[in-house]
Amino acid sequence: MTKLSVNINKLATLRNARGGDNPNLLQAAKDIERFGADGITVHPRPDERHIRYDDVAALKKIITTEFNIEGNPTEEKFVELVLKNKPTQVTLVPDATGQLTSNHGWDTIKHQSYLSEIIARFKKAGIRVSIFVDPSIEIIEGAAKTGTDRIELYTEAYAREYTEGRKETAILPYVKAAQKANELGLGINAGHDLDLNNLKYFYEHIPQLLEVSIGHALICDAIYYGLENTVQMYKRKLN
């Protein structure tokens, strides 16, 4: 079964826009789980413009499904946050400071030594590790040498080409990357710009897809369809 982890960054952005605690992030996470999501994802950034570091500790106490924390491990503050809160999974993303959103995966060849060291540090603490990567055979092979448990395929290129009407071309590098990951014993996650239009096709073509992490599109859809209905709509795309 492919799990749906809902990224709640956008709910935190909405809360922070007015101050106070509306929407209440903890209640939203509880409700999203109750509505059928298999996990909650957060991506705290150094400027805390959406998810705050103290949100992570509060969420850890109440989440009953899988908790996934994304971020750049070159920030020691992020590493300490993860080690202190021990989520189910940490997803390592090579974001630059101040970056609007994630826009590329790791170069697992150039940064192989560093990734191996930081991954070992998280795994020693009993945390499953996934690393954000582009759908490249060489990058997947490099990822396997780092000791990571999983990869997360960066799906922005797929989503863009799908919208342009080239879904067969769009999915091909992801299928090849997934096949290589399976061959090398890596678990497969995916995320970025997956939505109600393109998710089903991606799910149907990626062998042994374990998890998708979706935030922006899902929260936008919830404005029109309601949060409970939207979570269930996305879940139906994964079976």
Set 66, 70, 152, 211: catalytic member? 70
Active site residue 117: no
Active site residue 43: yes
Contact yes or no for 118/79 (Cβ under 8 A): yes
Contact yes or no for 182/188 (Cβ under 8 A): yes
Set 33, 152, 161, 192: catalytic member? 192
Q: What is the dihedral of CA 45, 162, 221, 26, to 10 degrees?
A: -30
Residue 39, φ and ψ in degrees, nearest 5: -175, 165
Structure-block tokens of residue 146: 């780092």
Set 43, 50, 152, 211: catalytic member? 43
Active site residue 70: yes
Q: CA 221, 190, 120, 117 torsion: positive or negative? A: negative
DSSP-assigned letters across all residues of 85-141: H--SEEEE--PPTT-SS------TTTTHHHHHHHHHHHHHTT-EEEEEE-S-HHHHH
> Which are the catalytic amino acids?
43, 70, 192
